[in-house]
Amino acid sequence: MKHGLKKDYTDKEIMDLLLKNLSFTDLLIKQHMSGREQIPRLTAEKDQIVYAPRNEASYREFVKSTYFSKDQEDPFSHFYIKESGKIERLHKTYDEHQTKYKDLIDKSGQ
């Protein structure tokens, strides 16, 4: 996400976006902490807030539907998964050879 922002926007544009919208973020946090059933959504009219319904079950279902999405795999995760697969195969191969070696030692001792 950071790379995408830096690629598309200048540092000044990013800071302007963040700093101008801090009041909206603060309001979101207050609404969440107060346990209200709805979250604010800004409309085209300046400083007017319209509340949208909030449904936890629908949100959880949405998150579950994105688990296997290609978008969930960022470059670091892709690299990590690939490298951990290599290490896992290495351990599996080692264990197989150790088992074969022990079997050969046992058979030669008989």
The 10s digit of each residue's pLDDT in 29-59 is: 777 777 655 555 555 555 566 666 777 888 8
Rounded to whole angstroms, the Cα distance separating 101 from 1 reads: 49
SS3 68: coil
Write down the pLDDT at residue 95: 92
* C-alpha 63: how far from chain center: 10
Tell me the mean pLDDT per 10 residues along the chain, length 110. Answer: 74 79 75 62 57 77 76 73 86 92 86
Torsion of CA 102, 104, 107, 110, to 10 degrees: -80
Give which of 58, 59, 39 is closest to 49, Cα–Cα: 39
Write down the pLDDT at residue 101: 92
Write down the pLDDT at residue 41: 56
Rounded to whole angstroms, the Cα distance separating 57 from 62 reads: 9
